[in-house]
Amino acid sequence: MMASVGPAVQRRRLQVELRQLRERRSKTQREVASDIGWSLSKLIRIETGQVGLSLSDLRALLAEYGVCDPEVRSRLEALAREGRKQQWGRYRDVLNPDFLAYLGFEGSAATIRQAEPQVLPGLLQTSKYARAVIAGVGGAEVSSSTVDRQVEVRMKRQEIFKREVPPEMFFILDESALRRPVGGRAVMADQLNHLARMAALHHVHLRVIPLERGAHPGLRGAFVLLELPELPGSSNHGDGAMLFLESSQTSLITKDNAATIATYEQDFKFLQTLALSEGKTVQLITDIAASLQAGGFAGAVAAKATFQRLLR
């Protein structure tokens, strides 16, 4: 069971449990750091997850907090050992730190809710579409080797679908992402057909907001809401929410900022009220794909007629 949860989740669980142990002793970070002989900044980095935690440092904290129960100590030591492993570290030369951290949590998520107004979500992309997006957004300054490695990451992320129990996934897209012919008509048609196949999976829920809905909160930028699984024996119930804001300046926000997360949760619910049903979404996707494959005026007219029918 422990091995099925990634290191990032286990680091997060350990971080939260240690903070809770300190708070139960009614001690400040400064008092604990002084008692153990550490700098205050070291304890802050441990509690915010900025650094890994060695077993010797963990044992010093457990002694400070009076934790003697062998089962509790064993469980927390297991979290520390597993949490020091690196899943995505070899890609740090082509990905920013916040996105690397996000990937660690995404792979173990129980629920993923993503709103994407510009392009199709990475988890649902074909390799050719991913390559066209990465190269196009990156521009001339992005080397072909960097594009190759980022495409490799994107495809590796999709191993999440092979999990014994994959997460429940909810995607809300803007129609413009379906109609932008990234990589050309053939690449986009293949991508849309792939999208329709993915939408048929029982744990994938895909919906599209029509262009006719006008402006909506999703246009502020892409975001992802994650719910993390509970670990056996953990006391951190309800601490598993995370928010990832995807832009040129990405950021990962944890449950520590509950108000911000709650705002985006409300935005996601509102976007769902604007979107087509899952069935109509798939119909729209397949019709746009067909129009791309047919090409020309006839394909465009057929796609427009289908769309008007869906909105009735």
Residue range 93-143, pLDDT digits in tens = 999 888 888 898 898 899 999 999 999 999 999 999 999 999 999 888 889
pLDDT by residue (tens digit) across 250-271? 787 876 688 999 999 999 999 9
Q: Does 91-310 match 2-83 at the fold level?
A: no
When the pLDDT of each residue in the chain is averaged and rounded to a whole number, the result is 88
Q: How confident is the model at residue 122, as a pLDDT?
A: 96
The pTM of this model reads: 0.79
CATH classification code of 2-83: 1.10.260.40
48 has pLDDT over 50? yes
User: 288, 297, 117: which is closest to 192 by C-alpha?
Assistant: 288
- Class for the domain spanning 91-310: alpha beta
HEC string of the chain equals CHHHCCHHHHHHHHHHHHHHHHHHCCCCHHHHHHHHCCCHHHHHHHHCCCCCCCHHHHHHHHHHCCCCCHHHHHHHHHHHHHHCCCCCHHHCCCCCHHHHHHHHHHCCCCEEEEEECCCCCHHHCCHHHHHHHHHHHHCCCCCHHHHHHHHHHHHHHHHHHHCCCCCEEEEEEEHHHHHCCCCCHHHHHHHHHHHHHHHCCCCEEEEEECHHHCCCHHHHCEEEEEECCCCCCCCCCCCCEEEEEECCCCEEEEHHHHHHHHHHHHHHHHHHHHCCCHHHHHHHHHHHHHHHHHCHHHHHHHHHHHHHHHCC
CA–CA separation, 261 and 196 (whole Å): 30
How do the domains of the chain map onto residue ranges?
2-83, 91-310
Calculated CA dihedral for residues 199, 200, 205, 206, nearest 10 degrees: 30
Q: How confident is the model at residue 297, as a pLDDT?
A: 44
- For residue 211, what pLDDT band results from cuts at 50, 70 and 90? very high
